[in-house]
Chains A and B, each alone.
Chain A
């Protein structure tokens, strides 16, 4: 009985801490906007307009990500994820998370809820960090980068970004939460 009481109290504490964490950041940002609005209302308005433009860019991707999350919860079991992107999947998993990161489109904000759901299904920290790092390589943007900086720069930087993503994944899996590599 005592055990159950302390467990439910622990759960309430964790829930309260999570709630505080989720509220503090939005409150700080609101406070910053309040201060900017007091000192320079036109700059605050410009910042709000810029945020609106970002939100419009992000909204479709965010909606798509929530749709994918619903499908993920319906169709993908932790067993599937463990087989392809779990902690024991080594080279095959590294290849998959690299390709997924490179092919992933849209704003990163849309991907966080999905990555959280994937982690809960068993995807390792190595693959999550590798995926996030490989998102830096954007195939549709390579010609744009080449137009600005030349193909030599684009090819060298893209190759180094993929190697860097793998190294980051490895380091995160060693020093991170789970302490095991992909």
Chain B
């Protein structure tokens, strides 16, 4: 029950992000280089939050404006594995060290996975 104020604050923060970050502004930051796109995608996915389906919708929108698959994959991955917005709630529940290490490793692995995924799909198909 002690976590409730933190959880409510996190939800309020999610509302702020959903209001202020637009898809058009996001797509302008992708450069076309796989590694840098994966990084930019991962940064956006980390700070945004919500239902994973929203990340698919935004991801599809980014693909349609010619953002590379690596960038979209980084975005979708960190949306569900990192979550900077909910980090305070994770810290309150599981401790600062656990939350920061988990988020940092998930972020780094997401970039690596985002770079590998298009190549793997190419190999398999």
State the Cβ distance, A21 to closest chain B Cβ, in Å. Answer: 7
- Which residues of chain A (40-54) have a CB below 8 Å from chain B? 43, 46-54
Chain B residues in 8 Å Cβ range of A133: 81, 106
State the Cβ distance, B60 to closest chain A Cβ, in Å. Answer: 5
A129 touches B15 (CB 8 A): no
Segment touching B, from A75-83, A85-93, A159-167: A159-167
**Interface residue total, chain B, C-beta cutoff 8 A:** 58
B28 within 8 A of A: no
The DSSP consensus for interface residues of chain A is: helix
B56 touches A145 (CB 8 A): yes
State the Cβ distance, B64 to closest chain A Cβ, in Å. Answer: 11
Chain A residues in 8 Å Cβ range of B94: 112, 115-116, 119, 128
B14 within 8 A of A: yes
- Considering the chains assembled together, what is the distance between the CA atoms of A136 and B51 in angstroms? 11
- Considering the chains assembled together, what is the distance between the CA atoms of A75 and B116 in angstroms? 44
Chain A residues in 8 Å Cβ range of B77: 136, 157, 161, 164
The DSSP consensus for interface residues of chain B is: helix
CB-CB under 8 A for A21 and B102, given A32-B16, A141-B53, A164-B81: no
A29 touches B92 (CB 8 A): no
- Considering the chains assembled together, what is the distance between the CA atoms of A53 and B81 in angstroms? 22
B24 within 8 A of A: no
Selected from A58, A109, A157, A172, the residue in CB contact (under 8 A) with B73 is A157
Interface of B toward A, CB cutoff 8 Å: 2-3, 5-16, 18-20, 50-53, 56-57, 59-60, 63, 69, 72-73, 76-77, 80-81, 83, 86, 88-95, 97-98, 101-102, 105-106, 109-110, 113, 116-117, 120-121, 124-125
Interface of A toward B, CB cutoff 8 Å: 18, 21-23, 25-26, 28-30, 32-33, 36, 43, 46-55, 57-58, 62, 108-109, 112-113, 115-116, 119, 125, 128-129, 132-133, 135-136, 138, 141, 144-145, 148-149, 152-153, 156-157, 160-161, 164-165, 167-168, 171-172, 175-177
Q: Provide 30 A-B residue pairs closer than 8 Å at the C-beta atoms, listed in order of the A residue.
A: A22-B6, A26-B5, A29-B13, A36-B16, A47-B12, A47-B19, A50-B18, A52-B15, A55-B8, A108-B83, A125-B98, A133-B106, A136-B52, A136-B77, A136-B81, A141-B56, A148-B56, A148-B57, A149-B60, A149-B72, A153-B69, A153-B117, A156-B121, A156-B124, A157-B117, A160-B113, A160-B120, A161-B81, A168-B105, A171-B101
